[in-house]
Structure 1
Amino acid sequence: MINKHAKIPIYYQLENLIRTQIERGEFLAGDALPSERVYAETYNISRMTVRQAINNLAIEGLIVRQKGKGTFVAEKKFQQALQGLTGFSEDMFARGLQPSNKTIHLEEIKPTPMIAAKLMIDLNEPILMIKRIRLADQAPISLETIYTPTKIVDKATFSNINVSFYQYVEQQLGLTIAHATQEIESSLATKYEQKYLTLKKGDPVLSMRRTTYLSDGMPFEYVMSAYRADKYIFTLQMPRNLE
Structure 2
Amino acid sequence: MIDKTSPLPIYYQLVEWIKGLIEQGELKPGDSLPSEREYAERFSISRMTVRQAITELVNSGYLYRQKGVGTFVAEKKIEQQLMGLTSFTEDMKSRGMEPSSKLVGFEIVPAPTYISEQLTIQKHAPVYEIKRIRLADGIPMALEKTYISANLVKGLTEEIVQNSLYYHIENQLSIKIDEATQVLESSVATQQEAEYLNIQKGAPVLLIQRNTALTDGTPLEIVKSSYRGDRYKFTITLKR
TM-score range, shorter chain: over 0.9
Deviation at 1:8, TM superposition (A): 2.3
RMSD: 1.4
SS in structure 2 at match of 1:93:
helix
Q: Which residue of 2 aligns with 1:56?
A: 56
Q: Point out the more displaced range, 113-122 or 43-52.
A: 113-122
Q: Which residue of 1 aligns with 2:156?
A: 157
Q: Which residue of 1 aligns with 2:169?
A: 169
Cα distance in 2 for residues equivalent to 1:60 and 1:124: 46
Q: Which residue of 1 aligns with 2:35?
A: 35
- Checking the alignment, whether the CA contact within 8 Å between 2:112 and 2:124 is kept in structure 1 is no
Deviation at 1:112, TM superposition (A): 1.9
Paired AA for residue 141 in structure 2: I
Deviation at 1:152, TM superposition (A): 3.2
- Checking the alignment, whether the CA contact within 8 Å between 1:177 and 1:213 is kept in structure 2 is yes
SS in structure 2 at match of 1:157:
coil
SS in structure 1 at match of 2:157:
helix
Q: Which residue of 2 aligns with 1:138?
A: 138
Report matched runs for 1:191-210 at 5 Å.
Answer: 191-210=191-210
Deviation at 1:44, TM superposition (A): 0.5
Deviation at 1:7, TM superposition (A): 3.0
Q: Deviations over 1:167-225 (max 9, x none)?
A: 11100110111110001111000111011111112211111000001101111100000
Q: Deviations over 1:24-52 (max 9, x none)?
A: 22211111112111110111000011001
Q: Which residue of 1 aligns with 2:215?
A: 215
Cα distance in 2 for residues equivalent to 1:106 and 1:68: 42
Q: Which residue of 2 aligns with 1:44?
A: 44
Structure 1, unpaired ranges of 5+: none
Q: Which residue of 2 aligns with 1:77?
A: 77
Paired AA for residue 145 in structure 1: K
SS in structure 1 at match of 2:55:
helix
Cα distance in 2 for residues equivalent to 1:191 and 1:32: 28
Deviation at 1:106, TM superposition (A): 1.4
Cα distance in 1 for residues equivalent to 2:65 and 2:86: 34
Cα distance in 2 for residues equivalent to 1:237 and 1:33: 34
- Checking the alignment, whether the CA contact within 8 Å between 2:103 and 2:158 is kept in structure 1 is no
TM-score by length of 2: 0.95
Cα distance in 2 for residues equivalent to 1:23 and 1:160: 38
Cα distance in 1 for residues equivalent to 2:111 and 2:198: 29
Structure 2, unpaired ranges of 5+: none
Q: Point out the more displaced range, 47-56 or 4-13.
A: 4-13
List 4+ stretches of structure 1 deviating above 4 A: none
Q: Which residue of 1 aligns with 2:3?
A: 3
Q: Point out the more displaced range, 94-103 or 2-11.
A: 2-11
Deviation at 1:2, TM superposition (A): 1.8
SS in structure 1 at match of 2:230:
coil
Count of residues in correspondence between the two structures: 239
Cα distance in 2 for residues equivalent to 1:50 and 1:121: 59
Cα distance in 2 for residues equivalent to 1:173 and 1:106: 20
SS in structure 1 at match of 2:4:
coil
Identity score, percent: 49
- Checking the alignment, whether the CA contact within 8 Å between 1:128 and 1:153 is kept in structure 2 is no
Paired AA for residue 215 in structure 2: S
Paired AA for residue 211 in structure 1: N
Paired AA for residue 55 in structure 1: T
- Checking the alignment, whether the CA contact within 8 Å between 2:101 and 2:163 is kept in structure 1 is no
